[in-house]
Structure 1
Amino acid sequence: MDFNQVKEILDLVNKSELTEFDLQMDNVNLRMSKNTSSQQISNQTVLTDSDTRFNEPVRKENLQTSSPVFEEISNSAPIAETVADGALVHSPIVGVIYTSPSPDQPAFKKVGDKVTVGETLCIVEAMKLMNEIKSEVDGTITEILIEDEQVVEFNQPLFRIA
């Protein structure tokens, strides 16, 4: 099983309503689990140059070919779309939304709050990385289209700013 096959399986599971997926064939054991509101911390396996669990050693050039995918995701900015009722701020990635910096602190923004370009609106957790979603427009938040700890899709509207 090569990296492209794993990506294809990941994409299929992500688009499905499955919350968990296990695949065991030959000497490959693949387990996927979607984020839920009650997240669990799991052990992570780090692949090394000498790792041979996938029938062949992991090569640095193979890892480098996958890097741009992650780079593109981490460098993407929220998409702001101007509509008649104001600008819609969309999620640049798939993940879990957090509306406050921590559970015991107030939300970054609520309806009626003024925002300026660069202010943090929320956080999207993707692959255990916290990504701040910042406003790309000045204005007032007129609608919050998501709830705390909700799973959001790529390009899903999050906020309306007028």
Structure 2
Amino acid sequence: MNISEVKELMNQFNGSSLREFSWKNADGELTFSKNDGHTNGVTAPAPQAPAAFVASQAPVEVTGPQAQEVTETATVAAEGEAVTSPLVGVAYLKPSPDKAEFVKVGDSVKKGQTLMIIEAMKVMNEIPAPADGVVTEIMVSPEEVVEFGQELVRIK
């Protein structure tokens, strides 16, 4: 992999919502991280990696009985309207560590009901449901740092 390909990957990584990215082959390893305490880094040179790298990005085809299951799972996960983060902060799915989650997948919610809290600058900001519906997907982990516009929950 040459330096221009590494720079292009870095640009794509920085513009994405991914928090970490690792790629490894016989010639070397490449790791990027946006998490605190980690630095973006490149280890071990990979001068002949472009062909292997292009091959690793080829689409994977699933056949047999698993193909339908994968398709159905992808369809179910994408159902509903995404609720996005209005600010940058830390997402909390529970009101406190010893309490139950605000919502779980499959829960019915009413417009205005709290879905989670995002802490920004020591202020707890409740994220309300924009409409009545059913939670089909929770797309953040507890105490995950979320970005402005990042999808948090899907409601159908």
* Length-normalised TM-score, structure 1: 0.49
Distance 1:17 1:107 in 2: 27
Report what 1:97 is aligned to.
Answer: 91
Work out which of the residue numbers 122, 136, 145 in structure 2 matches 1:128: 122
Report what 1:107 is aligned to.
Answer: 101
Report what 1:7 is aligned to.
Answer: none
| Cα 1:18–1:146 shift into 2, 3 Å | closer
Amino acid at match of 2:132: D
Report what 1:146 is aligned to.
Answer: 140
> Does the Cα contact within 8 Å between 1:87 and 1:137 map onto a contact in 2?
no
Q: How does 1:13-162 map to 2 (within 5 A)?
A: 17=34, 19=36, 85-162=79-156
Amino acid at match of 1:128: K
Q: CA RMSD in A?
A: 1.7
Distance 1:147 1:18 in 2: 14
Percent same amino acid at aligned positions?
55
The superposition leaves residues 56-86 of structure 1 with CA deviations (integer Å, 9 ceiling, x where unpaired) of xxxxxxxxxxxxxxxxxxxxxxxxxxxx721
> Does the Cα contact within 8 Å between 1:95 and 1:124 map onto a contact in 2?
yes
Residue 155 (structure 1) shift: 0.4
In the alignment, structure 1 segments of 5+ residues that lack a partner are: 1-15, 21-83
In the alignment, structure 2 segments of 5+ residues that lack a partner are: 1-32, 38-77
How many residue pairs get aligned? The number is 84
Distance 2:136 2:34 in 1: 31
Amino acid at match of 1:146: V
Amino acid at match of 2:148: F
Amino acid at match of 1:126: A
